[in-house]
């Protein structure tokens, strides 16, 4: 099985790279990350006969893109797995279950100190300006805006930076 996931260590990796004088090892624009996730999801689906793919994200656009690509290639909805974290975006969990997809829900467990570090990363992720969970569930942003293709979103981000 191959698990495709994004976002969890962005802050940590960026801070460490800067502290050591290394180039940033991650995309610096959310649109780039989302587009890369979709490209890699397509690649995993293209190798469906030799691997079992799992797509982990709370971003509905990313999950929907993986589903659409799978269907386009004739892969049954239970031919791969969607993965979400326990306690985050519960309405997404319910929607995925009701739609009949194979769903794995991850539950964090383990030692206290690493667990606290994990919790802090989740808090940073969910309060980030780029967080799908925050934008939709806390701020009520419409799904039409949140489901914009990453390439279009990236173009808007880059255009804003050029101004």
Residue 87, pLDDT above cutoff 90: no
pLDDT digits (tens, 9 = 90+) for 30-81: 788 889 999 999 999 999 999 999 999 888 888 889 999 999 999 999 999 9
Q: Where are the domains of the chain?
A: 2-162
pLDDT digits (tens, 9 = 90+) for 97-148: 888 899 999 887 778 777 777 777 666 666 555 544 444 454 566 666 656 6
Overall pTM > 0.95: no
pLDDT digits (tens, 9 = 90+) for 76-85: 999 999 999 8
Q: Which CATH number fits domain 2-162: 3.30.160.100, 3.20.20.220, 3.40.190.10, 3.40.50.300?
A: 3.20.20.220
DSSP 53-112: EEEE-S-HHHHHHHHHHHHHTT--TTSSEEEEETTS-HHHHHHHHHTT--EEEE---S-H
């Amino acid at each position: 099985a191959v698990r495709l996931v994004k976002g969890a260590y962005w802050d940590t990796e960026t801070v460490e790279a800067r502290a050591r004088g290394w180039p940033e090892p991650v995309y610096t624009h959310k649109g780039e990350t989302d587009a890369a996730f979709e490209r890699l999801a397509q690649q995993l689906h293209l190798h469906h006969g030799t691997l079992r793919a799992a797509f982990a994200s709370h971003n509905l656009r990313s999950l929907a893109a993986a589903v659409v690509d799978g269907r386009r290639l004739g892969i049954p909805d239970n031919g791969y797995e969607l993965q979400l974290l326990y306690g985050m975006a519960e309405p997404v969990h319910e929607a995925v279950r009701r739609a009949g997809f194979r769903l794995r829900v991850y539950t964090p467990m383990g030692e206290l100190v690493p667990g606290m570090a994990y919790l802090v990363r989740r808090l940073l992720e969910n309060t980030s300006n780029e967080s799908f969970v925050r934008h939709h569930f806390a701020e009520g942003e419409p799904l039409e805006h949140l489901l914009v293709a990453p390439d279009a979103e990236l173009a808007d981000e880059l255009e804003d930076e050029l101004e």
